[in-house]
Amino acid sequence: MGLLDAVQRLHVGLDYHLARHNLLTSNLAHLDTPNYKPLDLERTPAGGTFHAAMQVALAQTDPGHLGAAAPAGREEEATWKTIEDPGARPGYDGNAVSVDREAAKIAANQVRYDALASLVSGELSGLSWAANDGRAG
């Protein structure tokens, strides 16, 4: 049982939102660049039964064969990749950045970041309480 599993997952989420914030502010910087299409970060969901099924450990049928360890914990990694925002509509100069749309995305992203940060703080303080034997400490 991983005591810090939840914290690790929240940490990954915080990383994602910070990276997305940087990308969205760079979109805003390119507000007047001709033919610029705004970018966004798309998350691939972590794990899932299909992915886990692909992570099959090699069975060692003969002691003389070399064994292979199953990749440990790789299927739990969430990754993200940069994509072009599909909902952006280009204007006359080919620039598809809308300041309202990007600003709203930044606001929503910040709300999610704040929520995750608050949850991490709560998790760690709960673990700290437990580590202090459940008494005030």
Partner 1 sequence: MSHKYSVAGVFSAMDVAASGLTAERGRMNVIASNLANAQTTKAADGTPYKRLDPVFVSRPVSPGAFDAVLRNVNEVQLQGVRPDPTPGQLVYDPGHPDANAAGYVQYPNVNVVTEMVNLMTASRAYEAGVSSIESIKSMAREAIKIGQ
Partner 2 sequence: MAIAPITELMQPLTTTRTGEADSSPAIGPGATAGVTADVSFGDVLGKAIEQANRADAFASQKVDALARGVGDDLHGTMIAVKEADISIKLVGTIRNKLLDAFNEIWRTSV
Which residues are near partner 1 by CB under 8 A? Answer: 86-87, 98-101, 103-105, 107-108, 111-112, 114-115, 118-119, 121-122
- The footprint of partner 2 on residues 64-123 (CB under 8 A) is 78, 111-112, 115-116, 118-119, 122-123
In whole angstroms, give the CA distance from residue 120 to residue 46: 19
CA atoms within 13 A on the CB side of 113: 15
94 neighbors 36 (Cβ within 8 angstroms): yes
Q: Output the six-digit token pair for 4.
A: 């810090």
β-sheet bridge partners, residue 81: 42
- Tell me which stretch binds partner 2 (CB under 8 A): 27-35, 49-57, 81-89, 124-132: 124-132
The binder of partner 2 chosen from 2, 45, 67, 137 (CB under 8 A): 45
What's the min distance (Å) between Cβ of 90 and partner 2? 27
What are the residue ranges of helices labelled H in 4-98? 5-29, 49-54
Q: Which is nearer to partner 2, 45 or 63 (CB)?
A: 45
Q: How far is CA 88 from CA 16, 69, 80, in A?
A: 21, 45, 20
Interacting residues toward partner 2 by CB under 8 A: 6, 9-10, 12-13, 16, 43, 45-46, 78, 111-112, 115-116, 118-119, 122-123, 126, 129-130, 134-135
